Homo-oligomer: A and B are copies of this chain.
């Protein structure tokens, strides 16, 4: 493969001049630029980013570490990140942690080795002090969706507590008196915030505070299994509050298996909409997060940190949540 030296020789200039043409900086006369570009084409020269980055100490690459790109919510966040990064001349590399601190740590190490300029992190667990590794390595990072220990970091997340409050209030106004909540792990701040918002709404509505709350994972199995438990419980709740989209799908599957109808036999509401692209007929009443916007805002903040536009202290951006009422919820019937 030809290198910058070969191009320089063919064009009759010094390597640094070729570099100036490629990166479009410094002074190069039009005539010289022409000659260099011809040489580049002739040799089909592709600059080696390793050499460039090693010397310049910038890779123009950002790392996005999230739980699972299979979840349409995260896919949407990722597109927001990718689009915004590209607009600013950056590229991204993605890692899936599957909520495992071990996988997260492996990816962070790998990406640090690759010398990414900054990180966008959805922490696998709030208990892992993943921020240490960044601070030691002096790499800027932005935390998405969740909170971690300490408060001296940049973050972008939805107002989960308020969203849950509004979604629960809506159910309560319909007249539901007993609502089951199925949520994620207790070391996930979003899972906790959503439960907190729910309980707050229940309290305001004057309900007894021992509404059933089931802690599991943000996945379909959790939704499925706990719904089976809920259906056996007495008094049986008239509504189920799923704190993410996968849990909601598990809930629906369990209800279908029991031949129960939604919303006639059970109301179901959820966090996180499913993208229109993969939905035949939007059905769930949801607290809809601004997924694309979350990715965009976080990336803008990170890129600002990398340049001169860095804000002073740690930034905390909280995005509002909208409630969208659809057909999965209605006034309660009397429990059987």
Which residues of chain A have a CB within 8 Å of any CB of chain B?
Answer: 1, 44, 46-51, 53-54, 59, 69-72, 75-76, 78-79, 82, 91, 93-94, 96, 109-110, 112-115, 136-138, 220, 245-246, 249, 252-253, 256, 274-281
Contact = CB atoms under 8 A, between A and B. Distances in A.
Given A69-B75, A249-B277, A249-B280, 5 more contacts: A49-B114, A69-B69, A69-B78, A70-B275, A252-B280
B113 A48 contact: yes
A69 B281 CA distance: 22
A278 B72 contact: yes
Given A78-B69, A137-B1, A249 B50 contact: no
A59 B49 CA distance: 12
Contacts of A138: 1
Contacts of A70: 72, 75-76, 79, 275, 277
Contacts of A136: 44
Integer count of this chain's copies in the complex: 2
A280 B254 CA distance: 9
Contacts of A1: 137-138
A141 B17 CA distance: 33
A47 B78 CA distance: 28
Contacts of A72: 70, 278
A93 to B, nearest CB: 5
Nearest to A61: B114
B46 A113 contact: yes
A249 B220 contact: no
Which of A50, A253, A274 is packed against the most chain B CB atoms within 10 Å? A50
B278 A256 contact: no
Contacts of A54: 48, 50-51, 54
A48 B113 CA distance: 5
A116 B117 CA distance: 19
Given A275-B70, A278-B72, A91 B78 contact: no
A248 to B, nearest CB: 9
Contact of A279 (B50, B51, B249, B277): B249
Nearest to A93: B93
A239 to B, nearest CB: 17
Contact of A53 (B50, B82, B96): B50
Contacts of A76: 70
